[in-house]
Amino acid sequence: MLTSIKGRSVIVTGGSKGIGRGIATVFARQGAKVMIAARGADSAKAASDAMNAEGATTSWTTCDVSDWDSVQAMVAKTAEVFGGVDILCANAGIFPQTKMVDMDPAEWDRVMSTNLRSAFLCVKACIPQFEKNGRGRVVLTSSITGPITGFPGWAHYGASKAGQLGFLKTASMELARYKTTINAVMPGNIYTEGLQDLGQDYLDTMAASIPLKRLGAVEDIGNAALFFASDEAGYITGQQIVVDGGQTIPE
Ligand code: NDP
């Protein structure tokens, strides 16, 4: 057990479902106090209620991570409910798939805003909390798509995820004065509700192409985030870790 997580206050953006919910669950099981943030109130509340029913300490708030006022309100609410913010898991993201020839420039902006601008906004809003604590942890959910691989229809998505890694290099330098680290997890193909529509045959084929012969579980990403957030990882900053079952290892 990473003992340093117990009692810590954690924001998980996009914590209502998918990978974010997995991250929230992993932290809650370690005894952290988890703020689940998403745009949809119903799904954020439902996720929080379900975790609390299993003995977790969570709360929820609506937030649009691309909006500065909304992000500030999320951080203020977390500080009010849990007495501060120790850890930020900036995970919320969108991934519409549109080839560039058909892509409305507004869609490019929306993806950049939700996936990349949000990282800056969430980190910026948490800095006063980290300064007050004399420590802090930030974990970004990036992707293998962009930094390592490409995928047709995801020019904007890939650029935003690679951009997160560019952001984190300088952010790690600026956050060091607050004894705060920032690192990124780069998931491969992770099994979420959203993938169910693809059908079992497609998912089986996808799994067969991965060296570890399965899609990732949302908890696989949560466990990597947990390590980065722990005291034990206190000398690691500005780094990224691929969690993809070996998918991007070149032959
Ligand atoms: P889901 O679509 O399952 O969940 C996305 C979450 O983000 C939801 O809680 C959603 O809630 C929230 N969200 C979306 N937009 C916003 C916004 N503007 N403000 C606040 N919350 C928002 O996605 P995944 O779990 O699959 O993906 C999570 C992250 O992991 C993303 O950053 C994604 O790029 C990354 N990733 C996912 C992979 C995968 O295989 N699934 C692979 C690699 C990276 P709501 O809609 O209510 O706001």
pLDDT tens by residue, 25-84: 999 999 999 999 999 999 999 999 999 999 999 999 999 999 999 999 999 999 999 999
Separation CA 32–CA 228 (nearest Å) = 14
- Is pLDDT at 205 greater than 70 in this prediction? yes
Q: Is 24 in the pocket of ligand 1 (CB under 6 A)?
A: no
pLDDT of residue 2: 63
* Best CA proximity match to 16, nearest among 50, 55, 53: 50
Cα(96) to centroid(ligand 1), Å: 11
Q: Domain spanning 3-243: which CATH class is it, in words?
A: alpha beta
Nearest CA to ligand 1 atom 9: 14
CA-nearest of 10, 140, 130, 119 to 65 is 119
Among 95, 97, 161, 197, which residue has the most ligand 1 atoms within 8 Å of its CB, making it the best to mutate? 95
Write down the pLDDT at residue 218. 98
pLDDT digits over 132-146, tens only? 999 999 999 999 999
Alpha carbon distance 109, 104 (integer Å): 9
**3, pLDDT greater than 90:** no
Handedness of CA 79, 38, 21, 47 (dihedral sign): positive
pLDDT band at 251 (very low <50, low <70, confident <90, very high): confident
More confident residue, 242 or 4: 242
Which residue CA neighbors atom 26 of ligand 1 most closely? 18
Would you say the CB of residue 191 lies under 6 angstroms from ligand 1?
Answer: no
ipTM here:
0.99
Question: Which carries the bigger pLDDT value, residue 18 or residue 2?
Answer: 18
| Active-site annotation holder among 157, 178, 202, 235 | 157
What integer best gives the mean pLDDT of the chain?
Answer: 97
CB neighbour class for 160 (10 Å; exposed up to 12, middle 13-18, buried from 19):
buried
Question: At 4, is the pLDDT very low, low, confident or very high (cuts 50, 70, 90)?
Answer: confident
Q: Ligand 1: which residue has its CA nearest to atom 17?
A: 64
Euclidean distance between CA atoms 77 and 134, whole angstroms: 20
Once rounded to an integer, what is the mean pLDDT over residues 174-190? 98
User: What pLDDT is recorded for position 1?
Assistant: 60
Does ligand 1 lie within 6 Å of residue 162's CB atom?
A: no
Look up residue 67 and give its two tokens: 């909006």
